[in-house]
Structure 1
Amino acid sequence: MAFLVVLDSMTPAERVAFILHDVFRYPFAEVADIVGRTPAACRQLATSARRRIAVSQAPATPTAQQARIVRDFMQAWEARDIHALIGLLDPSATFTADGGGRVSTTLRPIEGGERIAHYIVDIAGRTPDSVTILERTVNGQPGLMVERGGVTVAVYAFDVADDRIKHIWAVRNPDKLRSWTTG
């Protein structure tokens, strides 16, 4: 998922040059024919794309530290503590949700730690008492699962760097959550 976000940050020309050359191993001369630029320009586009990828790869936060931050996020969410949430979120954090058109969720990514914190508190205010938030491993990292009556209704994955949450991905699409349901 993080790689897709990085690809999305590239210009279309960078993305094409990078994918065709670095992933599919096309020579720059062939990439140039496809994109209508010179081989030297395509080489520069691929270099620029590689730079974007390198910048996006922050040093990995140890798993135990990530788990603590996700646990703190869960506790702040349950307590509806907006100040604690803001403190855990990077000011430029992004929240992306997938409802698959089947359940309600935000349609566009929410950008900014404070805006995300307000959104999370709003969700908490509308969440029935019968919902349980559980710590789970999501995509190999500490994450959260929201369950109601033995049925998983949401899974949250986190990107943590420098003791702050940089990105949250929420999956609410029931088709994608079937394998998460425990009961």
Structure 2
Amino acid sequence: MRIGYGRVSTRDQNPDAQEDALRDAGCDPVFVDKASGKLASRPELDKALIAAREGDELVITKLDRLGRSLKNLIELAEQLEKRGVNLVVLDQSIDTSTPAGRMFFQILGAIAEFERALIVERTQDGLAAARARGRVGGRKQALKPRQVQLAQEMYDELGDDGKRKHTVQDIADELGVARTTIYRYLEREESRS
């Protein structure tokens, strides 16, 4: 069975050209997503992947319609390969059931792996250079040591009735931070003592 999948990036784009090309290629059913952005869900792709069985072909018009990034594209291709589903890309004449199609995806995988290795190497070099200059990574502390001490004193202060004199919200407002920040610092102080 040939299963077609198309995607348009925005609601204004029209998927008809992709649908027509997929139907002309003998696809039935055809699934089309209207998804924008890297994190947008693609429910129609999920349906297409569920529908695809061993020996089937998932057909797309262009590579960029399937994966949002090279890494995502390769992961999907590997997932299809494990399940025995071939990937066919009409515009680029790619068919993973052929040796040339499989080689193309292996080359893409090697390029993606090389790219990841370069990113890791550059990140490590940048961190090492920053450490050599005396800088350390991580977020800047929200409270200075004196403010932490003040927060702890306010938290520990009891009123005449024996209850806490200041709420965590009062302390947060006084120091200009979120309540969760106060809780985090109070927990740290508690674990140190």
TM tier, shorter chain? under 0.3
Normalising by structure 1, report the TM-score.
0.28
Larger % of strand: which? Answer: 1
State the structure with more CA Rg.
2
